[in-house]
């Protein structure tokens, strides 16, 4: 047994006492002992505590008990220490009248490690909404106020006190959750990684699944309520009352205006621009692995912003470096996040990222220039019309992908840009529909063609199209473009040269 109590052991003890741990003092004994119980599923976390609290000669034992309410067995693991004078001092601090309390004197001793232990014991991360509930139901309302004040003053975190029947607990919204998790991440051991939520990549799939389930549940509840005629009547009556209030009416009108705008944007965005990443959006670095190396090429941010209103922008890339071991999927996802952050500076966004992690040896169907990756995007974005879509890239494999799609969809266009490899890789003997010096010029061509089609003009020479039995014909003998047009909208544009 060591002579001195280290700061680390002290913080683990204090955090445990604020959480699930307790101190007990029997009638005949002079000193107190430490005891804690957890579910058997948290055995690895408990053993981690046993290792770091060896100063108090901790022992552990697993067992089971019958829960009479559910008639099921509850498996648990108990840890307890020998009696010790240091524990007696803490007993006097936490249990002055035989019941656990929280005071400013106790909270002032808590540091980041102690806060992390308290969160691991009593904290609950909600995957559905990315919020945290800190289970302080064992403390009174005044004690919860003390904890709240301590969080604000010491950590600049502002939770709220919520009531659950007769008890109170602390609730952290998404913003405050991010602040809390950010400061305690380095102190969370491996067995409790699941409590880090979206701050750890292993939890992302679970969070997404929980969010989808929540949305389905809410939709079902809403549709079931709307079937009830009494509920609909009450809803209309309440709505009339709210609309009499001028402030509420303004908010109501603003909400619906924005909703209709978003709906129109979704309906209009049937067209997509598929773009390569390395050498097209960002500087070309072979086997890029570090998010700090991400640098947008000039004019890319402004160009994508101008596309966002009318086109879906989807990034597609080959990443054989994952299979070869030069980089990992986690690093690649971080690179995608960094690109999104850089584009946000221009109020631009990429709607989705798709990548193939396999090498050429595997003959993978999703690796460019094969077309599977494009068709994978159609599973999520079902309204995309490939006849109105484009692909932009700096390599011949991107152009070859466009040609392969064009065999099925005649009006799918490809643009080669002279940044990055600048179509000099000679992997495929493929010629794009257009060659431009940079991304901005590519977007100008896309925009020009879009405007020309809507005004019945030739997209190549910008002249008005002449109506004939075949369709609309360009007067310029060099173009000879024929367009089959419907009521002011292009149905099937076809080129006959």
Q: What is the pLDDT of residues 153-198, one digit of tens each?
A: 999 999 999 998 889 999 999 999 999 999 999 999 999 999 999 9
CATH of domain 269-454: 3.40.50.1000
pLDDT tens readout for residues 412-460? 999 999 998 888 888 888 888 888 999 999 998 888 776 555 556 666 6
Q: Tell me what pLDDT residue 415 has.
A: 93
Window from 187-191, 334-338, 357-361 with minimum mean pLDDT: 357-361
Q: How confident is the model at residue 40 (pLDDT cuts 50, 70, 90)?
A: very high
pLDDT band at residue 287 using 50, 70 and 90 as cut-offs: confident
Per-residue 3-state assignment (H helix, E strand, C coil) for the chain: CCCCCCHHHHHHHHHHHHCCCEEECCCCCCCEEEEEEEEHHHHHHHHHHHHHCHHHCCEEEEEEEEECCCCEEEEEEEEECCCEHHHHHHHHHHCCCCCCCCCHHHHCCCCHHHHHHHHHHHEEEECCCCEEEECCCCCCHHHHHHHHHHHHHHHCCCCEEEEECCEEEEEECHHHHHHHHHHHHHHCCHHHHHHHHHHCHHHHHHHHHHHHHHHHHHHHHHHHHHHCHHHHHHHHHHHHHHHCCHHHHHHHHHHHHHHHHHHHHHHHCCEEEEECCECCCECCCCCCCCHHHCCECCCHHHHHHHHHCCEEEEEEEECCHHHHCCCCHHHHHHHHHHHHHHHHCCCCCCCEEEEECCCHHHCCCCCCCCCHHHHHHHHHCCCCCHHHCEEEECCHHHHHHHHHHHCCCCCCEEEEECCCCCCCCCCCCCCCCEEECCHHHHHHHHHHHHHHHHCCECCCCCCEEEECCCCEEECCCCCCEEEEECCCCEEEEEECC
Query: How much is the pLDDT for 60?
Result: 94
pLDDT the model gives residue 486: 35
Domain ranges within the chain, ordered by starting residue: 1-101, 102-227, 228-267, 269-454, 461-497
pLDDT digits (tens, 9 = 90+) for 68-86: 888 889 999 999 999 999 9
Q: Is the pLDDT of residue 483 over 70?
A: no
CATH value of 102-227 in 3.10.28.10, 3.60.130.10, 3.30.230.80, 3.20.20.150: 3.10.28.10
The domains spanning 102-227 and 269-454 adopt the same CATH topology: no
- Residues annotated as part of the active site: 276, 278
Q: What percent of the chain shows pLDDT beyond 90?
A: 47
With bands split at pLDDT 50, 70 and 90, how would you rate the model's confidence at 470?
low
Q: How confident is the model at residue 2 (pLDDT cuts 50, 70, 90)?
A: very low
Average per-residue pLDDT in the chain? 86
- Residue 1's pLDDT is 39
Q: What is the pLDDT of residue 70?
A: 85
pLDDT at 491: 29
Which pLDDT band, with edges at 50, 70 and 90, does 330 fall under?
confident
Under CATH, to which class is 1-101 assigned? alpha beta
What is the pLDDT, as a whole number, of residue 227? 80
- Report pLDDT digits (tens) over 250-270: 888 888 888 777 766 655 557
Question: Residue 403's pLDDT is what?
Answer: 92
Would you state the pLDDT for residue 309?
Answer: 80
Q: Is the pLDDT of residue 284 over 80?
A: yes
Whether 32 has a pLDDT exceeding 60, the answer reads yes
pLDDT given for residue 264 in this prediction? 63
């Amino acid at each position: 047994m060591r002579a001195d109590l280290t700061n680390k052991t002290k913080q683990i003890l204090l955090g445990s006492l604020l959480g699930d741990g307790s101190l007990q003092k029997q009638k005949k004994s002079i000193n107190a002992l430490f005891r804690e119980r957890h579910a058997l599923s948290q055995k690895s976390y408990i053993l981690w505590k046993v290792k770091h609290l060896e100063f108090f000669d901790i022992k552990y034992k697993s067992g089971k008990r019958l829960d009479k309410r559910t008639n099921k067995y509850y498996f648990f693991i108990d840890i307890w220490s020998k009696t010790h004078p240091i524990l007696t001092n803490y007993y006097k601090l936490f249990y002055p009248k035989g019941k656990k309390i929280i005071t400013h004197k106790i909270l002032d001793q808590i540091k980041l490690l102690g806060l992390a232990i308290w969160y691991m014991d009593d904290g609950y991360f909600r995957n559905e909404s990315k919020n945290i509930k800190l289970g302080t139901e064992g403390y009174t309302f005044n004690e919860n106020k003390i904890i709240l004040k301590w969080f604000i003053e010491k950590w600049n975190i502002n939770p709220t006190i919520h009531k659950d029947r007769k008890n109170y607990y602390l609730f952290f919204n998404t913003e405050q959750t991010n602040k809390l998790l950010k400061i305690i991440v380095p102190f969370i051991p491996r067995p409790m990684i699941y409590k880090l939520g979206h701050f750890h990549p292993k939890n992302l799939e679970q969070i997404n699944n929980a969010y989808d389930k929540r949305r389905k549940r809410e939709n079902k509840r809403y549709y079931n309520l709307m079937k009830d005629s009494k509920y609909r009547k009450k809803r209309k009556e309440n709505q009339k009352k709210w609309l009499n209030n001028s402030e509420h009416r303004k908010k109501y009108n603003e909400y619906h205006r924005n909703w209709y705008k978003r709906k129109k944007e979704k309906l209009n965005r049937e067209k997509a621009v598929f773009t390569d990443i390395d050498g097209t959006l960002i500087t070309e670095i072979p086997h890029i692995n570090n998010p700090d190396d991400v640098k947008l090429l000039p004019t890319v941010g402004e160009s994508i912003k101008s596309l966002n209103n009318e086109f879906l922008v989807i990034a597609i890339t080959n990443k054989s470096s994952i299979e070869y071991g030069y980089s990992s999927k986690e690093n690649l996802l971080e690179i995608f996040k960094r690109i999104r952050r850089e584009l946000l500076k221009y109020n631009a966004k990429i709607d989705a990222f798709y990548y193939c992690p396999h090498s050429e040896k595997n003959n993978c169907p999703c690796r460019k220039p094969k077309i599977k990756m494009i068709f994978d995007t159609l599973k999520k974005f079902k309204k995309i019309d490939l006849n109105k879509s484009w692909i932009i890239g700096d390599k011949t494999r991107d152009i070859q992908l466009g040609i392969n799609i064009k065999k099925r969809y005649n009006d799918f266009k490809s643009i080669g840009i002279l940044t990055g490899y600048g179509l000099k890789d000679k992997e495929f003997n493929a010629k794009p529909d257009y060659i431009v010096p940079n991304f901005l010029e590519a977007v100008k061509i896309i925009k020009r063609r879009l405007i020309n089609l809507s005004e019945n003009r030739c997209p190549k020479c910008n002249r008005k199209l002449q109506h004939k039995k075949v369709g609309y014909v360009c007067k310029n003998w060099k173009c000879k473009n024929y367009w089959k047009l419907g009521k002011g909208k292009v149905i099937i544009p076809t080129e006959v040269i």
